């Protein structure tokens, strides 16, 4: 509390009395100061404009620099910087300026450091949140040792430099980093990119000389050369207007770059300039949720014209899968331009409109085509089911989308499905998720589709884009800052000479920043290129239920993965432990199933490319003290086994085993046939783990068992997808009675289209 006199007095008035009751450090931050989740304390700049505090996000809490809530209400966008990029931490976490002069974000849920400023050895003596929103660490000579301005998040404040080594990355709505970034390229132009290689906006000017981008205090975005002379600039429409209190440049979630001004009178942000004038021209701005179009009031909205579900959050997939049983037909969409995402490449040929349709229809791999009709006579053939695009009367393109003639497998979900029970089976029918029908519809296509998906992943990392020549030289996607490649010597150091073995080929250790980790040794003969690319993919995955990959080692004769260490027990250990077992009530066990299903479903379809777990079992599913799920060793099984298909079905089978173990305890895990027999004779008491006590929900039990037997089908084509599994567990879909899991049988579409009658009462 260094401030005295007038500024201090003003601050009182500014921040009100609430201040009195919370522990607050003002402007100058003393070594040892700390702010914590849930304690509502913060650090504030001397002008009162900025605060450092925690805030709630959908998947946890983040520490960041905000506009003071008295200046910009919390309903407006207030965050200008987040510690660790896009990091979130759990309850009870704190952000501290340690006695050693290091900023540390400690995740109490995990019991480990999530991020640090790595300034412990730099003789930091003080820290200040400056009036311009820059959090700086200073040494005794008042030199800046570290500043938040050097690690921007999605926002640039006036006076902050964006040099060629820095990136603005859009915030993300979920647990994966955003694909959108802003950087200076080698020619000194600002570029907006999607993923690592699709450029959808480039600023003017180029010059080989050293450049940096800044937002001037009067509201211009400028490129300055080494003499601070402007070589390129854009001005907001309210540039130089004095009644604007704050200005920021932000790369928004929708992928557009905008200059914002805070209009005090309206108490809101106003955009005075945006980089991409037609929002629909931002690559994949609708993500997987459809095509971009303008509604009658002129807002860009996302719609999926070719699927039948009305759920706006549903993925927009071309309703055609390779290997369609009953043939396919092409549907025309006028004034529509389509492009593929995941992967974005396509084949371009010259043809007529009619040929463009026929070429796609005749090619079993083609899912959609677009005839540009702009005089170029180009027909763009796409093979991916993940398609985006735009739709407007001014667009001259016509697109064709292939649709299987098979009947629809999954019925749209009704908002309130009644719990499935024998009594209202009539009503149940309409909500039934009929897996046999699905199999009738998709048959053996899943495997083919998976091979295709894996192809997509491989394509992403190895193969250069065929129609966009700007191939990235190396992977430069949104890797977390802390993800590292370790030389073998460092691995030995981290693993403390492999002294503390905690499992087969698994060692406990510690990174240099004191972050405890687990080092796992892998088969040293794994092909280097494959291993590296897999490590990079796995390192870019973030999910609260996945144990984070901190780094890897890939040297001749050495292959290691380094994971964060969390205080957890394997599910197997938990089920063996009688004390723990009583804590694992029916509800808890079902929640564990749902968490695991969510996590695996995320790996399968929520990541930028398909990732399978490959080794899902009671030892790779961990539980922390709060019985929250953490999944480890994802993506490794397939690497070792070099499987070229069926990875998802394998995960589904393994998931089924886990559910069965959770329901029946450890004794039942190897006797699927016995359990099936008991289930078909409604002898539930012989199935359920006695240690759970009462509280077993019989409807839920029936549903979970049916689902499990579907997951354990010998014919892997009959197994549901992880997304469907999740829907059934969450009661969004019903599930039919399964055939015996141990009998491989070829589904006959006729027979399977009729949902079989439930033969076991709940
Ligand atoms: C943030 O989350 C905590 C608990 O996680 C809750 O108590 C608090 O009310 C939330 N704050 C806001 C502003 O939503
Ligand atoms: C800090 O200094 C100590 C002792 O000299 C050294 O062991 C450590 O590796 C250094 N840490 C960093 C981050 O440089
Ligand atoms: C921005 O870059 C210029 C030129 O290198 C430098 O003088 C200035 O201190 C930088 N500003 C900040 C906040 O780092
Ligand atoms: C900004 O406004 C001031 C007067 O308010 C004027 O003198 C100055 O030339 C203006 N600058 C620009 C770049 O328009
Ligand atoms: C257009 O979309 C915007 C944003 O989603 C919405 O607020 C507005 O109501 C929509 N207008 C019409 C006419 O649907
Ligand atoms: C699309 O355009 C064709 C040719 O102009 C026209 O015959 C057809 O009716 C249009 N379809 C729709 C749905 O507007
Ligand atoms: C996309 O690129 C990959 C690799 O170059 C190629 O194998 C594949 O056929 C391409 N897809 C299309 C539709 O051109």
Domains present along the chain, CATH in parentheses? 20-151 (2.90.10.10), 162-277 (2.90.10.10), 291-411 (3.50.4.10), 473-565 (3.30.200.20), 570-744 (1.10.510.10)
Which residue, by CA, sits nearest to atom 1 of ligand 3?
Answer: 161
Is residue 617 helix, strand or coil? coil
pLDDT at 376 over 50: yes
Both tokens of residue 530?
A: 């494959």
Give me ligand 1 centre to Cα 55, in Å.
8
Give me ligand 1 centre to Cα 90, in Å.
12
Q: For residue 503, how many other CB atoms are within 10 A of its CB?
A: 11
Q: Is 461 in the pocket of ligand 7 (CB under 6 A)?
A: no
Are 261 and 247 spatial neighbours (Cβ–Cβ below 8 Å)?
A: yes
pLDDT at 482: 64
- DSSP H or E segment with residue 114: strand 112-116
pTM: 0.59
Are 49 and 42 spatial neighbours (Cβ–Cβ below 8 Å)?
A: no
pLDDT at 643: 46
Q: Is 512 in the pocket of ligand 2 (CB under 6 A)?
A: yes
Give me ligand 7 centre to Cα 608, in Å.
17
Ligand 5: list residues with CB < 6 Å.
295-297, 299, 301
Q: Which of 445, 435, 369, 433 is nearest to 404 (CA)?
A: 445
Are 112 and 89 spatial neighbours (Cβ–Cβ below 8 Å)?
A: no
- Positive or negative torsion for Cα 293, 275, 87, 563: positive
Q: Is 514 in the pocket of ligand 2 (CB under 6 A)?
A: no
Q: Is 346 in the pocket of ligand 7 (CB under 6 A)?
A: yes
What average pLDDT does this structure show over 723-728? Answer: 86
Give me ligand 7 centre to Cα 340, in Å.
11
Q: List the 558-564 sheet strands across, edge first.
A: 484-485, 549-555, 558-564, 516-521, 506-510, 501-503
Pocket test for ligand 3, best of 138, 161, 209 (most atoms within 8 A of CB): 161
Q: How much is the CA Rg of the chain, to the nearest whole Å?
A: 28
- Of the ligands numbered here, which is closest to the C-alpha atom of 279? 5
pLDDT tens, residue by residue, 18-75: 333 333 434 689 999 999 998 889 999 998 899 999 998 877 899 999 998 878 887 7
What backbone phi and psi angles, to 5 degrees, belong to 410? -100, 125
What backbone phi and psi angles, to 5 degrees, belong to 340? -85, 145
pLDDT at 502: 83
pLDDT tens, residue by residue, 608-644: 667 888 889 998 999 988 889 999 888 876 666 544 4
Which residue, by CA, sits nearest to atom 3 of ligand 7?
Answer: 459
Give me ligand 5 centre to Cα 619, in Å.
49
- What confidence category does residue 668 fall into, taking pLDDT thresholds of 50, 70 and 90? low
Both tokens of residue 331?
A: 């549907």
Longest CA–CA span in the chain (Å) reads: 85
- DSSP H or E segment with residue 702: helix 698-711
pLDDT at 60: 83
Q: Is 229 in the pocket of ligand 2 (CB under 6 A)?
A: no
Q: Is 585 in the pocket of ligand 7 (CB under 6 A)?
A: no
- Of the ligands numbered here, which is closest to the C-alpha atom of 165? 3
Q: Is 384 in the pocket of ligand 7 (CB under 6 A)?
A: no
Cis link prior to 759 (omega < 30° from 0)?
no
Strand ranges, E, within 383-457:
387-391, 398-404
Distance CA(117)–CA(104), nearest Å, equals 7
Which atom of ligand 2 is closest in space to residue 121's alpha carbon? Answer: 1
Q: Is 465 in the pocket of ligand 7 (CB under 6 A)?
A: no
Strand ranges, E, within 556-678:
558-564, 568-570, 621-624, 629-631
Q: Is 118 in the pocket of ligand 2 (CB under 6 A)?
A: yes
pLDDT tens, residue by residue, 186-245: 888 999 998 878 899 999 876 667 789 999 999 999 999 888 888 899 998 888 888 888
Give me ligand 5 centre to Cα 316, in Å.
20
Are 178 and 253 spatial neighbours (Cβ–Cβ below 8 Å)?
A: yes
Q: Is 149 in the pocket of ligand 3 (CB under 6 A)?
A: yes
Q: Is 212 in the pocket of ligand 3 (CB under 6 A)?
A: yes
Q: Is 505 in the pocket of ligand 7 (CB under 6 A)?
A: no
pLDDT at 435: 30
Angle at 503 between CA 619 and CA 482, to 5 degrees: 85
pLDDT at 320 over 90: no
Q: Is 146 in the pocket of ligand 3 (CB under 6 A)?
A: no
pLDDT at 13: 39
Which atom of ligand 3 is closest in space to residue 160's alpha carbon? Answer: 13
Both tokens of residue 228?
A: 């601070």
Distance CA(700)–CA(762), nearest Å, equals 9
Pocket test for ligand 2, best of 113, 118, 121 (most atoms within 8 A of CB): 121
pLDDT at 478: 38
- DSSP H or E segment with residue 723: helix 722-729
Which atom of ligand 3 is closest in space to residue 214's alpha carbon? Answer: 1
- What confidence category does residue 153 fall into, taking pLDDT thresholds of 50, 70 and 90? very high
Q: For every residue of 30-95, which 3-state class applies, written as one string?
A: CCCCEEECCCCCCEECCCCCEEEEEEEECCEEEEEEEECCCCCCCCCCCEEEECCCCCCECCCCEE
Give me ligand 4 centre to Cα 273, in Å.
19
What average pLDDT does this structure show over 591-608? Answer: 88
Q: Is 121 in the pocket of ligand 2 (CB under 6 A)?
A: yes
Which atom of ligand 7 is closest in space to residue 366's alpha carbon? Answer: 13
């Amino acid at each position: 509390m260094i401030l005295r006199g007038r500024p201090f007095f003003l601050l009182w008035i500014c921040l009100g009395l609430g201040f009195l009751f919370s522990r607050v450090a003002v402007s100058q931050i003393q070594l040892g100061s700390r702010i914590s989740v849930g304690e509502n304390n913060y650090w504030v700049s001397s002008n009162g404009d900025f605060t450092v505090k925690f805030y709630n996000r959908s998947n946890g809490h983040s520490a960041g620099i905000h506009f003071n809530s008295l200046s910009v209400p919390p309903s407006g966008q207030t965050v200008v910087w987040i510690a660790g990029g896009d990091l979130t931490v759990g309850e009870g976490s704190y952000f501290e300026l340690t006695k050693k002069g290091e900023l540390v974000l400690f995740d109490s849920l995990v019991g480990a450091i999530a991020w640090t400023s790595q300034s412990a050895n730099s003789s930091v003596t003080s820290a200040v949140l400056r009036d311009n929103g820059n959090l700086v660490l200073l040494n005794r000579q008042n030199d800046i040792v570290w500043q938040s301005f050097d690690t921007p998040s999605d926002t640039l404040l006036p006076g902050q430099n964006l040099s060629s080594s820095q990136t603005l990355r859009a915030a993300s709505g979920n647990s994966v980093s955003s694909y959108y970034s802003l950087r200076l390229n080698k020619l000194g132009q600002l570029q907006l990119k999607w993923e690592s290689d699709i450029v959808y906006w480039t600023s003017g000017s180029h010059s080989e000389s050293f450049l940096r981008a800044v937002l001037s205090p009067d509201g211009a975005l400028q490129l300055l050369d080494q003499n601070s002379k402007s070589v390129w600039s854009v001005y907001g429409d309210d540039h130089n207007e004095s009644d604007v209190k704050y200005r920021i440049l932000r790369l928004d979630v929708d992928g557009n770059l905008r200059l914002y001004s805070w209009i005090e009178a309206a108490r809101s942000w106003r955009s005075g300039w945006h980089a991409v004038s037609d929002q629909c021209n931002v690559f994949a701005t609708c993500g997987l949720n459809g095509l971009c179009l303008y509604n009658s009031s002129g807002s860009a909205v996302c719609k999926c014209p070719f699927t039948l579900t009305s759920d706006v959050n549903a993925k927009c997939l071309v309703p055609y899968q390779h290997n369609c049983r009953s043939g396919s037909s092409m549907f025309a969409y006028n004034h529509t331009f389509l492009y593929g995402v995941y992967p974005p490449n396509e084949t371009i040929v010259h043809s007529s409109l009619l040929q463009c349709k026929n070429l796609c229809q005749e090619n079993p791999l083609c899912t959609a085509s677009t005839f540009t009709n702009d005089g170029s006579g180009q027909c763009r053939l796409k093979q991916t089911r993940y398609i985006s695009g735009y739709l407007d009367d001014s667009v001259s393109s016509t697109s064709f989308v292939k649709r299987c003639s098979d009947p629809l497998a999954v019925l749209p979900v009704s908002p309130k499905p009644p719990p499935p029970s024998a009594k209202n089976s009539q009503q149940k029918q309409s909500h039934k998720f009929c897996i046999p029908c699905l199999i009738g519809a998709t048959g053996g296509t899943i495997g083919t589709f998976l091979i295709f998906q894996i192809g997509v992943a491989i394509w992403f990392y190895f193969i250069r884009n065929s129609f966009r020549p700007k191939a990235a030289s190396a992977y430069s996607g949104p890797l977390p800052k802390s993800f590292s490649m370790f030389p073998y010597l460092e691995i030995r150091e981290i693993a403390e000479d492999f002294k503390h073995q905690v499992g087969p080929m698994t060692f406990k250790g510690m990174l240099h920043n004191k972050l405890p980790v687990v080092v796992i040794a892998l088969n040293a003969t794994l092909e280097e290129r494959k291993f590296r690319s897999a490590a990079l993919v796995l390192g870019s995955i973030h999910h609260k239920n996945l144990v984070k990959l901190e780094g890897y080692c890939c040297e001749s004769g050495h292959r290691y993965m380094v994971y964060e260490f969390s205080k957890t027990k394997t599910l197997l250990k938990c089920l063996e432990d009688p004390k723990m077992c009583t804590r694992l009530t029916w509800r808890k066990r079902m929640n564990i199933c749902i968490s695991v299903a969510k996590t695996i479903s995320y790996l399968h379809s929520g990541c930028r490319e398909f990732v399978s777990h490959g080794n899902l079992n009671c030892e790779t599913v961990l539980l922390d003290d709060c019985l929250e799920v953490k999944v480890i060793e994802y993506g490794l099984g397939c690497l070792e086994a070099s499987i070229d298909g069926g990875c998802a079905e394998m995960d589904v089978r393994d998931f089924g085993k886990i559910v069965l173990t959770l329901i029946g305890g450890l004794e039942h895990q190897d006797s699927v046939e016995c359990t099936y027999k008991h289930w078909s004779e409604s002898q539930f008491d012989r199935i359920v783990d006695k240690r759970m006590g009462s509280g077993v929900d019989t409807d839920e039990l029936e549903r979970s068992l049916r689902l499990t037997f579907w997951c354990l089908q010998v014919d892997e084509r009959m197994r549901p997808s992880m997304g469907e599994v999740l829907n059934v567990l969450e009661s969004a879909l019903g599930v039919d009675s399964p055939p015996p899991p141990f009998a491989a049988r070829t589904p006959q579409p006729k027979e399977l289209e009729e949902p079989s009658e439930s033969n076991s009462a709940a």
